Structure 1
Amino acid sequence: MSRLTDLIAQAKNKDPQMGADLEREFRALSSRLPFGLNFERHSPEAVELPLRSVRKGDKVRVLPPRGTVKKGDQRLWQVVALHRTQKKADLKLITRAEDETAETQTVDLADLVVVAEFRDTIYPGLISTGKVQRGGEKPFHTVINGENYHVLKALTYTHRGKVDAIYIDPPYNTGAKDWKYNNDYIEAEDSYRHSKWLAMMERRLQVAKVLLDPVGSVLIVTIDEKEYLRLGLLLEQTFEGAQITMVSSVINPKGTGRSGDFARTNEYIYFVRFGLMRVGTRSDQSDVGSEVSWETMRRRNLASVRGRRGKGACGPNQFYPIFVNEKNGAIVGRGDPLPPDTARDSIDPPSGCIAVFPVRPDGTEMNWEYTDTAFDQWWPQGFIRANGKKDEPQRYIIQHLPNKARQEIKTGTVQVEGTRGDGSVIAKYTAASSKTVTTQWEFTSHSAEHGGTGVLKALIPLRRFPYPKSLFAVEDALRLFIKDRAEAIVVDFFAGSGTTAHAVMRLNRQDGGSRQCISVTNNEVAAEEQNALREQGLRPGDAEWEKYGICDYITKPRVAAAITGRTPDGEQIKGDYKFTDEFPMAEGFDENAEFFTLTYEARSAVNHNLAYARIAPLLWLRAGAQGARIDKLPASGWAVADTYGLLTDIDAATPFVAAVSQAEGLRIAYIVTDDDRRFQAIAKRLPKGVESVRLYESYLTNFSFANGE
């Protein structure tokens, strides 16, 4: 629509009557609202790549002079020729229509920045920028500095259908310059800011969908009131058939003060579940030392009325008398189940006893929770009791220990310390109990102030980051789904301060797991700091600029500090972790992490084995990001690492196959060849369970296919 309004304005200038007619018809059409979420997709979205060297054929922008804070020329130019010796490039203005007279100019290479539109096919690579190793043979967590849409595209080659959980905390679109679209910060006055936000999110969610395991996985998205309604509709449209639940979570009990408005205390969390993924339970320490709660044994719902038939109705053996001794209030046994047409007052109880039936105070006859045979199983064990005489149709309250409590006795969470005079057990919690999770969360550990800002200050003192998530809130959300998945793969493509990776490390420490997290973030410098850097003559891409970017200044140092137990200055981290797992932060974690920057390769360079050094980390990631990596082309024509092998000379296939057959834990064999017949022949010789992947055909085809815009 934004493009149409521009064209109508142009038409008005040339022919006012035709322009007015077009505007009238346009308004009539735009007033017809179809069902569902409707928004401008603002295609194409584009991103500047300051670290990418300029090549012939690239789309570029001309940067403003150093030292100025004014916005530069936003038009796109195409590089038609490079003059490397003079460090200049000949440019031609990109227009919507073929124009032989399009504007041209020659510009210094240093004054150009490459622009990638999201409809362009990319061929990604990775360059390692450092690592931290304390986890022995465990797989590596990875932090990738790059435009998250392009990194997600890269992950379609390495992790298609392999991801167990995605946790993201996207920009909340507050209008306070908290995110960029097409190199511009989005402000509150932008009338298209909601549709721009939706377009940005939709593109990334569509790629993320390809990464999630369809058999069982979860997408977790946090948001506040600015976009939660639109996000909910977008999730329903993007993930048709998924199970979607929204939880309200208190993150600031004091409330964010807003003059003349409600003080906001909460945010919202969407859980989008796929396949067989189920919600786990939440550990609760508050019950430790207290007695287990008994529940009434009389059923409550209307479907459980005596004699009722149909869906949810009880069986014929759940209406029977329970005999209670009037002197001591103890159960002494039961009678036979009564048919629906037999009155309960026809029962003659044993001497000194009362026959107790499941009857509401208004006289409605119900059914017991258990059949007669189930009663015979649980009452002798002390799991059913009478508790209190009443002047009502049901003379005694009959209670039972529910199945959950009985299971907790089996697992040791609850211990039986003895029995009462009536034979019922005295059972107490000796460990944290498991409770069903509700859709309203209010936990002290989820406070953004203490669990977010406080933790981050301890890890990387004096480095500011706005609104970090509570470490323990992210940990709790992930635990619900990957507690029993010790090798789960988690992705966060709005990684920010690196909280998700940190939470995954804590989960690993609690059960000895080997879960790994892939954190994706750009290296954007905060909006309020950019002008000061520009006034110093700096630009994106300069080392002095990049060191203040979110990835280099916050995410990477936070992940490294969490693992090592030391701040970026080498000091021991002060303070302790709280709640589920309490220990000094200075202990760190037995984990490995490696940091990468996304690169953009030329198709021809990939095809001719000239970009192998940047493709190598992707091959390692696809094989599990574990153990050694083959960073250089092997002189012998083949090499075998811990989890994968590489054959670059098919004439060396025999020793390669032999080495692969002897290796333990090998997952993938990469074979470089253009000859599909020979590839298939070698693949047939590989051991069962080793995936064969043809290079670079699989890589090039993946990104051509993935480029659906």
Structure 2
Amino acid sequence: MSRLNDLIRQVAHQDGRLAADLRREFDALADRRAFGLNFERHTPETVELPGRPVRKNDKVRILPERGQMPKKSDERLFKVVKAYTEAGDRWAEVEAMDDPNEKRSIAIDDLVVVAEFRDPIYPGLVTTGKVERGGDKPFHTVINAENYHALQALLFTHRGKIDAIYIDPPYNTGAKDWKYNNDYVEKEDHYRHSKWLAFMERRLQLAKELLSPEGAIVLTIDEHEVHRLALLAEQVMDGFTVQMATLVNNPKGVTQGYLSRVEEYALFCFGPSFQMASAPDDLLTHKETVQAADGRIRPRWKGLLRSGDDSQRADREQMFYAVWIDPSARKLIRADPFLPLGTEPDFDLKDDAGNVVAWPVRKDGSLGRWGVGPDTLNRLIQDGFAACGRYDKKRSTWSVSYLSENVRAEMDDNLLEILGRDPETGVADVVYVDAASRRARTVWHRSSHDAGANGTDLVGELLGAGRTFPFPKSLYAVEDTLRLLVSRKPEAIVLDFFAGSGTTTHATMRLNRQDGGRRTSISVSNNEVPSKDQSELRRNGVRPGDAGWESQGIFEFITKPRLRAAVEGRTPSGQSLNGSYKFTDEFPMAEGFEENVEFFTLTYESGMRVASHREFAKIAPLLWLRAGARGRRIGDITTGWDVAEAYGVIANLDLSEPFIKAVEAQDGLTHGYIITEEDRLFEAMVRQLPAHVEPVRLYSSYLRNFEIEAARAAR
């Protein structure tokens, strides 16, 4: 070891950067675990930033000529020595990072800025649209960004405040499903697994700092990396309780090798103070349940009217019959024998006691059929397992419900008990025996979790023809996952930094609709163009950063329109959505959601310009996010100060008196941002702020946050 230290010191005299890189790798090796998960960390990770202005001292790559495909030589890094204008064109003088003697003059349009993950970045946000249907609710935030840098930005706004993180990272199948250093990692790459682990470790370390002690993170994965990810989670999420659940997400199966795979996995990492609530469904044995005010969990009663396929009268003649009802007591009396085809039903039929009949009438007014035969229904009425609902004037009939065969089988298994019976109707009050301690199981098997029907097909409905997204999660699987984590937190903050098509935000909105919650989500998705489309775009002379390229990326083409469609209830082309949401909460998709969503793109600013108060407009959304993403956003303070619903900002401290009065008068204000370089002035302002207002000093707290993160990434 001492000899290696001596050699590194010798190298430092000739090449300080190389010595620093060697020292970093040496320290990583020296700190390597003797046991556990060991892997090459492949530093530094880099990302291209198309559209970011080229500035002096930036690291850049030289883009291939338009119409040409990238080559290995295009991956070289250069440093911008100076930028200048010549004959009206913008040029840059650059020198090679691996050979300072190699200098070139390149048109700035042919350069792309590159960020290494050990370089400090100073992020801002620029809005690219919003949907407002939620009144005074806080906004869901959707960010177009490289997620590592987005996580660094969120450490300034949400450190220790996130209640739940749900991510669906790349599965590392070798099928061009993710990039490392701007290259797709393919199956033949000998370092494929270690690159993936390094990629995930960096992000999990930041995610852990974002979680509150009561929070939890869920990572979904398939068999390609599940065992490595489990070990990584154990190492990174030290102090958390880690459990794995198996989710049946493709009942049809995918043949890979000798067996047909029907499942994927979810790693749950529960924070040290996390408390699990009882669940209305254990996701394995008990189906279609509801939780009542008394805390007991009851099976959901099934509508007797048949729906879907095979639901018309002509489909099952023996299941079209009259059901006699006492309308005053809403009591089922009996079922008559079936009415043969060709005989018209009498909707005005009554007996001497005033009892009436219900017929199976579909929503469109046509004649349907019941879900069970008359003999079965008579047995259910006798046992108290069938009940009368409300009268439907539109269909001129009554609704009837019953306990399905599956639920009755659970009674035979002693999983259910009868608490009592209604003294007038005889209907049984059926509850699950161990409802008070219900927990989701570690194996989930629900038809609602089918990623084909409730992921791919649902996204297709939302986006309309011509837009597809590969392998989206089932909306209801994500909803069930989040319900376990935030059902008792109506104002929870949910994060997804591998957001893809936006299912996590969609699921959060579903939960809010079910219980009136005001939960917010933060979703991060990049604008990567699918690999199958990149070659054609490049051959046509289109490059990353061009409008024609960016419009085809995931964020702009899928995520943004999917969430807009979900909220507004119509496709990107303006047509009302067809179909209905199912399972826990059934309603037409065209109704949309009463929610607010804003879309942003993450920008990369100059630290010097931020410090000199020249980029306030770009930093302003981060201040708004830190204060809860609610109410008006302060985007300009040329008057010296401003106060909105959630926060206030002051730049001219000579105006502190009216600013403090406005802060005190604003109910619900939580943050005060004070722009000053003077310690004494900042401390004086803090003393004047109300005790419940969090003081934040700008821009030192902002700049320091990202300098610390860069230093950590360099280790």
Partners of 2:652 and 2:33 in 1: CA distance: 60
State the partner residue of 2:170.
Answer: 171
State the partner residue of 1:67.
Answer: 67
Partners of 1:169 and 1:286 in 2: CA distance: 26
Alignment of 1:303-452 (within 5 A): 416-417=420-421, 427-429=429-431, 435-452=438-455
Partners of 2:693 and 2:146 in 1: CA distance: 32
Change beyond 3 A, Cα 1:33–1:146 = closer
Do the aligned residues in 1 keep the contact of 2:416 with 2:432 (CA within 8 Å)? no
State the partner residue of 1:643.
Answer: 646
State the partner residue of 2:597.
Answer: 593
State the partner residue of 1:39.
Answer: 39
Partners of 1:567 and 1:288 in 2: CA distance: 32
> Alignment partner for residue 539 of structure 1, among 519, 538, 543?
543
Q: Which runs of 4+ in 1 moved over 3 A?
A: 284-289, 403-406, 429-435
State the partner residue of 1:454.
Answer: 457
1:230 is the counterpart of 2:228 = yes
Do the aligned residues in 1 keep the contact of 2:415 with 2:432 (CA within 8 Å)? no
State the partner residue of 1:361.
Answer: none
Unaligned runs of 5+ in 1: 5-25, 295-399, 407-413, 420-424
Q: How far is the alpha carbon of 1:39 from its aligned partner? A: 0.5
Partners of 1:92 and 1:663 in 2: CA distance: 54
Do the aligned residues in 1 keep the contact of 2:122 with 2:706 (CA within 8 Å)? yes
Q: How far is the alpha carbon of 1:428 from its aligned partner? A: 1.8
Partners of 1:81 and 1:426 in 2: CA distance: 82
State the partner residue of 1:264.
Answer: 261
Do the aligned residues in 2 keep the contact of 1:60 with 1:112 (CA within 8 Å)? yes
Partners of 1:264 and 1:446 in 2: CA distance: 15
Do the aligned residues in 2 keep the contact of 1:287 with 1:433 (CA within 8 Å)? no
1:279 is the counterpart of 2:279 = no
Partners of 1:70 and 1:42 in 2: CA distance: 22
Alignment of 1:178-193 (within 5 A): 178-193=177-192
State the partner residue of 2:390.
Answer: none
The one-character-per-residue Cα deviations of 1:291-337 (angstroms, maximum 9, x if unpaired) are x999xxxxxxxxxxxxxxxxxxxxxxxxxxxxxxxxxxxxxxxxxxx
> Alignment partner for residue 493 of structure 1, among 487, 493, 497?
497
* DSSP-derived class of the 2:131 partner: strand
1:83 is the counterpart of 2:80 = no
Do the aligned residues in 2 keep the contact of 1:158 with 1:621 (CA within 8 Å)? yes
Partners of 1:70 and 1:660 in 2: CA distance: 55
Partners of 1:457 and 1:631 in 2: CA distance: 37
Instruction: Name the Cα RMSD after superposition.
Output: 2.8
**Structure 1 letter corresponding to 2:704:** T
State the partner residue of 2:196.
Answer: 197
> Alignment partner for residue 472 of structure 2, among 461, 468, 471?
468
Q: How far is the alpha carbon of 1:433 from its aligned partner? A: 6.3
Q: How many residues align?
A: 556
State the partner residue of 2:49.
Answer: 49
Do the aligned residues in 2 keep the contact of 1:288 with 1:428 (CA within 8 Å)? no
Partners of 1:33 and 1:617 in 2: CA distance: 41
> Alignment partner for residue 584 of structure 1, among 588, 600, 609?
588
1:573 is the counterpart of 2:577 = yes
Do the aligned residues in 1 keep the contact of 2:637 with 2:650 (CA within 8 Å)? no
Q: How far is the alpha carbon of 1:705 from its aligned partner? A: 1.6
* DSSP-derived class of the 1:682 partner: helix
Alignment of 1:97-136 (within 5 A): 102-136=101-135
Alignment of 1:555-574 (within 5 A): 555-574=559-578
Partners of 1:669 and 1:634 in 2: CA distance: 17
Identity in percent: 55
State the partner residue of 1:319.
Answer: none
Partners of 1:624 and 1:432 in 2: CA distance: 39
Do the aligned residues in 2 keep the contact of 1:287 with 1:432 (CA within 8 Å)? no
* DSSP-derived class of the 1:436 partner: coil
Does 67-76 or 475-484 show the bigger shift? 67-76
State the partner residue of 1:15.
Answer: none
1:511 is the counterpart of 2:512 = no
**Structure 1 letter corresponding to 2:230:** G
The one-character-per-residue Cα deviations of 1:145-177 (angstroms, maximum 9, x if unpaired) are 010000000000000000000000000000000
Q: How far is the alpha carbon of 1:702 from its aligned partner? A: 1.1
Q: How far is the alpha carbon of 1:665 from its aligned partner? A: 0.5
**Structure 2 letter corresponding to 1:673:** T
The one-character-per-residue Cα deviations of 1:1-58 (angstroms, maximum 9, x if unpaired) are xxx9xxxxxxxxxxxxxxxxxxxxx9xx99x993110100000000000020100100
Q: How far is the alpha carbon of 1:281 from its aligned partner? A: 3.2
Partners of 1:593 and 1:143 in 2: CA distance: 7
State the partner residue of 1:661.
Answer: 664
Do the aligned residues in 2 keep the contact of 1:415 with 1:430 (CA within 8 Å)? no
* DSSP-derived class of the 1:42 partner: coil
The one-character-per-residue Cα deviations of 1:397-451 (angstroms, maximum 9, x if unpaired) are xxx9xx9989xxxxxxx752179xxxxx974249996742111111000000011
The one-character-per-residue Cα deviations of 1:603-646 (angstroms, maximum 9, x if unpaired) are 110011101010000000000000100111232x1100110001
Partners of 1:449 and 1:160 in 2: CA distance: 36
Q: How far is the alpha carbon of 1:583 from its aligned partner? A: 0.3
Partners of 1:170 and 1:268 in 2: CA distance: 12
**Structure 2 letter corresponding to 1:45:** E
Q: How far is the alpha carbon of 1:253 from its aligned partner? A: 0.5
Unaligned runs of 5+ in 2: 5-25, 291-295, 299-410
Could you tell me the TM-score, scaled by structure 2's length? 0.75
**Structure 1 letter corresponding to 2:263:** N
Change beyond 3 A, Cα 1:699–1:453 = same
Could you tell me the TM-score, scaled by structure 1's length? 0.75
